[in-house]
Structure 1
Amino acid sequence: MKKIIMLSLCGCLLSSCSLDLQPENGMTYSNSFNTEKELNATTTSILYYINTVVGNNYVLSTAGMKADEILDGKQMREWNPRTVIASEYSWKGLYDIIFESNLLLDNINKTKNLPEERRKYHVGQAEFALGLSYFLLAQRYGEVIITENSSEIKPYSLSSQADVLNAAIEHAKKALDILPTWDKLTDLDGVAITNRQTASKGTAAALLAQIYAWKGSVTELYKLQGNAQEDYQKSIDYSTQLIEGQVGNYQLCSSPEELCTYLSNEKTPNPEAIFSLYFDKTRSENVVSPNEVAQNFVSWPVREDQTLADLPSSSTYQLYTSTVESLFPDTTDQRLQAFFYQWGTPHEVDGTDYAIMYKFRKAILDPDQYSPSGKTYRTVDADYVYWRLADFYLLRAECYQKLGNEAKAIADLNVIRSRAGALSYPSTYDTEGLKKAIFIEREKEFIGENDARYADVIRNGYVKEELQGKFLLLTNQDIQGGALFLPLPKDSWQDKDGHIINTQLRQKPYWQAYN
């Protein structure tokens, strides 16, 4: 059966009301791109949506999180179909990014006296945003729609994941071709841009490395159309550009402790950060960091509204000391001391010894006269470093291993272990082979920091080894029917009042029985 979806562009248009538009007669788009200042309003809107949408991945993040206790979401981790369907998730934010990006590309030729380098800057931001959005849609939903432009309102067929990933690659390559390295980015007034959210040649290369690693893996594991070996090699090539400084100067922090210092100080550019979501504390008095994972792991003593005894009842994610000891059997690994508060000192509550996450060491607390401490925790005070250089050493190692080049895979793996002061591979603790060692190294390096683990599990085919609950019962038919991806969100086929707006849309086969 052919699946059809109507993209609700009306909603996207309404979401663009934050643009600083001054039309001549009523609200139109045709007369809002005359100057670069007007054009820049759309570029700013793209960056705003990236900032507020990309980190919003709670369902899949929770399903894949390395954690022993979770205050909410236990049934989500069990992949209870009715719980997943009933949870609050949406793809509208990603399509808002797509709409704004298409809007810019459709209208930039109307901007008068725009220098070529400034044109490349704005087009590059839009192309990167399109590539990132389609990649995340493919990762999270599998089959999604590919829109033509910002004005075509019509039914769109759901495109295959392979086609969506190819669209992401096409846009990311355009961004790579025209954007400068991060150190040459300037704003409308010629002032240097220092944040790592604004797209540069490095962020585009990072995106391509991620897309190709995903594309090769799902092609090989889940029998999609394509050439997995070629995709792995391309991911290696783009990771190499980052590691060798061909697309910007990025450097590994000298130690895990230095890394934590940078993660906890957003005012000092992290030399390892390639793509970050900026934490703009001036946006409102209630704004929170884009990094939901770090926010949910931070607990006592960073949270001054807590005591040690409060951990089980007030922190969203918690780890047991025994779990961390199993993950880090090598006691020479400096990440134990850097990532966990007073490692080696028991933090016991009601008979359970907790490992206290300490990667992020600054929190924002608001005055609260009704709280026993007089304060209420709002958020971790940090940017969301979405991709950093260590990611691409380990991603390149993963792809080398999948191509059978174990020597180069081991070399990359050992770069990260050496930085941590850990034993080189192979050590007495590496009992499950190189592929698993690389996967575990990613767990160690990014624990409590980002939402990547679910994607890592899917990319390596470890669903029944590393996930739980209903994941363990999935058949090949379930997986082919979309069980590893989010169901199509309700707002893709009904309006905010629950009225059906597209009777032709059909839920993915696996999820239909629970819809």
Structure 2
Amino acid sequence: MKIRLIYIASLAIGLLLNSCGKDFLDKTPQGQLGEGQILNGEGIEAVLLGAYSIMNGNVSGSWGNYAAAPSQWVFGEITSDNAHKGSEESDQPNMNLIEKMNPNPANDNLTTMWQVYYEGVLRSNTTLNVLKQDQEGNKEISATRATEIQAEARMLRGHYYFFMWRVFRNLPWIDENTTLEESKTKPNDEDIYEKIIEDVKFAAENLPLTKINGEAGRMDKSIAKAYLGKLYLYQKKYDLALPLFRDVLAGKDLTAMPFEDNFDVEKEDGPEALLVSKHAINPNGSADNANVGDMLSGIYAAPVSCCGFYQPTIDLVNAYKVDANGLPYLDGEYRNNPYKSDYGLTAAQKASYQLDVTLRVDPRLDYTVGRRGVPFLDYGVMPGDPWIRKSEGYEQPDAGPFVGMKTMIKQSQFASHAVAGENYITGLDVNIMRLADVYLMAAECAVELNDLTAALTYVNAVRNRAAKLPAKTVNGQPVANYQVKPYPSFPSQDYARKAVRMERRLELAMEGHRFFDLVRWGVAKNVLESYSSFEGNYIPFFRGLVFRPQNDYFPIPQTEIDRSGGTLKQNQGYN
């Protein structure tokens, strides 16, 4: 990244001063102001909003922000058994290298991730600096509000660092006390994880229970507690994480919160929303504050007409199959006699293809994946190949027969929630952490603490909510044999562990969690090489994946090592 991105500067970066209707983040950046213009109450609040604005993974413009998307689809999903990069091999070829676990330090996706989130760190540090100057001087900000601002800025900084830590691991720690000269040569030779915890712990102790000014998208105590629990979970400190998760879940009934509302642009900020990246189309129709990170995932054909990336895998789709008791297959049995829609059929066979309505599946499948013969939002029945991008001259799509759904909005919502003429750029928010995620993290802790009764309760809450999903139908008839039942018991800790891990996959698929889960569980090599063998039977590009020890994380961008004069050291295995 450009060195200026990690300098400590007395400038307001990306001040968001114009209000336009969708929460406090729906504002247009107005440039940079000098220190004298921001050392007042209004200016400091504006600088804080500038720090929030990096939540959507975008510094400016619209195209090119995919690797920094808050959904983390590039690093968290196409690296896993859930999703393919999609599109054609020749489009965004550096993403192919990431998907195949063969990244190199020159990969532009790494640079994007590094630059954007260090910009977020800088803006958080700038907020803390100008706040400190105010509190040492005129004190235009009250002591109570000053503590809240500090907590918001540190929560943001902790989040930005954690996103980068999962990808790069070895990072230079730049905070509000780092001088300009120090920042130029700050090494990445110490583990910054405890510093991330310190930031989020301060936020958990000092943020209010309710959002500042009632503005959706703000940090609050529940978000910070859930996030702190997640940080402890990554350390396997289950005894510290579980009480935090329980505090967040107290009094909540997940079964009363419709699953599909989490992905509806007109039902945002509901009771399940926790940490959310807020998105909106600007008043002038521009896309800076929109969901530009997920814009490539649109359906390739009209009415979206771009861009054909981010396709669910055959393996993921089959993982939604259930047994006669309405329970998932926990040991890979779902790969027996796999369902592939019309993939691999000849043109004549595709022309006469009939959907198998007897397929016994969890209903979350058809609210996560678009498959041929099944209604897709309000677009009509998904027609198969016409919606999927493939290389010219090839009969089969490059990445299988399925499309994603969670990043899409309804066609009827285009006029109000999409950029005119660019329906793939929408105002749909991204749930970085939602309540079901916390239920399943709590279940994981309970399993590892051998409280199988509590774990069963948490998992079954998620499954009982899934059972309420309306069946997808054509001509009044269900398009599948939908079943999802609660587990009657967890007979052993090992069984419970498998159940929780499978439930995280089914519930949170295509939401950016899967690869990072596999890594922290220590199973990435076995799972991904097994997946490659299965998926490669049908799509040869994905055959032969080798997961090496360094693949738990990614290389430091070479541009950053060069700009540091060699102070930054490359991650082991990528030299």
Normalising by the smaller structure, the TM-score range is 0.7 to 0.9
Alignment of 1:228-267 (within 5 A): 231-245=237-251, 251-252=253-254, 254=256, 258-266=258-266
Question: Does the 8 A contact of 2:255 with 2:461 survive in 1?
Answer: no
Amino acid aligned to 1:327:
Y
Q: Does 2:90 align with 1:74?
A: no
Q: Which 10-residue stretch deviates more, 77-86 or 436-445?
A: 77-86
Question: Match for residue 55 of structure 1?
Answer: 69
Q: Look up the equivalent residue of 1:269 and give its one-letter code.
A: D
Aligned to 1:420: 466
> Which residue of structure 1 lines up, in the alignment, with residue 497 of structure 2?
435
**Is 1:207 aligned with 2:227?**
yes
The residue aligned with 2:555 is 487
- The residue aligned with 2:353 is none
- Contact 2:187/2:569 (<8 A) preserved: no
1:179-328 equivalent positions in 2, closer than 5 A: 179-182=207-210, 184-186=211-213, 192-193=214-215, 195=216, 197-216=217-236, 231-245=237-251, 251-252=253-254, 254=256, 258-266=258-266, 268-282=268-282, 285-287=285-287, 295-299=295-299, 304-305=303-304, 314-319=307-312, 323-328=316-321
| Matches for 1:46-125 after TM superposition, within 5 Å | 46-52=51-57, 55=69, 57=72, 59-61=74-76, 62-64=78-80, 66-67=82-83, 70-71=86-87, 72=92, 73-82=95-104, 85=107, 87-89=109-111, 90-108=113-131, 109=135, 110-125=137-152
Identity rate, percent:
19
Shift of 1:384: 0.6
Hey, what does 1:175 align to over in structure 2? 203
Please report how far the alpha carbon of residue 58 of structure 1 lies from its aligned counterpart in structure 2 after TM superposition.
Answer: 5.1
* Aligned partner letter, 2:461: V
Q: Name which of 420, 425, 429 aligns with 1:383.
A: 429
Q: 2:517 aligns with which of 441, 451, 456?
A: 456
How far apart, in 1, do the equivalents of 2:225 and 2:295 lie?
A: 28
CA shift, 1:251, in A, is: 4.8
1:423–1:144 Cα change, 3 Å: same
Measured after TM superposition, the shift of residue 321 of structure 1 is: 6.8
Return closer, same or farther for 1:79/1:286 CA change in 2, 3 Å cut-off.
farther
Distance 1:291 1:391, change over 3 A: farther
Q: Contact between 1:279 and 1:288, CA under 8 Å: does it hold in 2?
A: no
Tell me how far apart the structure 2 counterparts of residues 94 and 240 of structure 1 sit (CA, whole Å).
Answer: 30
Q: Within the alignment, does 1:39 sit opposite 2:61 as a pair?
A: no
How well do the aligned residues superpose, as a CA RMSD in angstroms?
3.8
3-state SS of 2:501 partner? helix
State the partner residue of 1:142.
169
8 Å Cα contact 1:124-1:178 kept in structure 2: yes
Specify the SS of the correspondent of 2:233: helix
Q: How far apart, in 2, do the equivalents of 1:346 and 1:460 lie?
A: 36
Aligned to 2:63: none
Residues in 2 aligned to 1:11 and 1:415: alpha-carbon distance in whole angstroms: 46
Aligned-pair distance for 1:338?
3.7
SS in structure 2 of the partner of residue 299 of structure 1: coil
Superposed displacement of residue 389, structure 1 = 0.4
Shift of 1:323: 4.7
1:46 Cα deviation from its structure 2 partner? 0.8
Aligned residues of 1:75 and 1:83 also touching (Cα < 8 A)? no
Q: 1:357 to 1:334 in 2, by over 3 A?
A: same
- Residue 96 of structure 2 aligns with an amino acid whose one-letter code is K
**Contact persistence 2:16–2:46 (CA under 8 A):** yes
* CA distance in 2 between partners of 1:277 and 1:93 (Å): 14
Q: TM-score scaled by structure 1?
A: 0.75
Q: Distance in 2 between matches of 1:209 and 1:411?
A: 19
Moved more, 280-289 or 110-119: 280-289
The letter for the 2-side match of 1:235 is A
1:253–1:271 contact (8 Å) kept in structure 2: no
Mapped to 2, the partners of 1:43 and 1:452 lie a distance apart of 27
Q: TM-score, length-normalised on structure 2?
A: 0.68
The one of 324, 335, 339 equivalent to 2:364 is 335
Structure 1 CA distance for aligned equivalents of residues 382 and 128 of structure 2: 57
The answer to which of 36-45 and 89-98 deviates more is 89-98
What 5-or-longer segments of structure 1 have no aligned partner? 187-191, 217-230, 307-312, 367-373, 495-499
Write the distance in 1 (CA, Å) between the matches of 2:544 and 2:151.
39
Offset at residue 212 of structure 1 (A): 1.0
Give the 3 Å change call, closer, same or farther, for CA 177–83 of structure 1 in structure 2.
Answer: closer
Aligned to 1:160: 190
Deviates further, 500-509 or 41-50: 500-509
What is the CA–CA distance in structure 2 between the aligned matches of 1:200 and 1:471, rounded to whole Å?
Answer: 45
